[in-house]
Amino acid sequence: DIQMTQSPSSLSASVGDRVTITCRASQGIRNNLGWYQQKPGKAPKRLIYAASSLQSGVPSRFSGSGSGTEFTLTISSLQPEDFATYYCLQHNSYPLTFGGGTKVEIK
C-alpha cells in the first residue's frame, strides 16, 4: 500500500498568511493526487485534482504542485473561510489512501 504522510498535522496562521501543506508518498504516484477541504460538519470538497489542476469555482489563492513523491498545497493569502482541515488523496494505485489531514486554525 502507498502511505501518504501529510505535514504538518495542524498549524495556526493569521488572515493574509501564506500557508503550505505537504504530502509525501511512500512511492511514486506521478501526478495522481488530489486535495480536499473539509469544514466541521460538512462533506469534503475537492480543491485540486491531478496534483495541480484547480477545481472550477475554487478561488485562485489555492494552488497545488508536485509530482512523483512530494506534493504541496499552497494558500497564497489565507482568508477567514479557509480555516478547515485539508486532506490529500492518492489514486495512483489501490488501495486509495488519504493523508492524515492538516487542521488550519486561526492564530
- Least distance between another protein and beta carbon 16 (Å): 28
Report the residue from 2, 32, 73, 84 that binds another protein according to the rule CB under 8 A. Answer: 32
Element spanning 37, H or E: strand 33-38
Least CB distance to another protein at residue 15 (A): 26
Pairing assessment for the beta strands 10-13 and 102-106 based on DSSP bridges: parallel
CA 59, chain centre distance (Å): 14
SS3 80: helix
26 in Cβ contact with 92 (< 8 Å): no
Nearer to another protein, 5 or 77 (CB): 5
Q: Does residue 100 touch another protein according to CB under 8 A?
A: yes
Give the separation between CA 58 and CA 54, rounded to whole angstroms: 7
71 near another protein (CB under 8 A): no
Q: Is 40 in the site for another protein (CB under 8 A)?
A: no
What residues line the site for another protein (CB under 8 A)?
Answer: 1, 31-32, 34, 36, 38, 43-46, 49-50, 53, 55, 87, 89, 91, 94-101
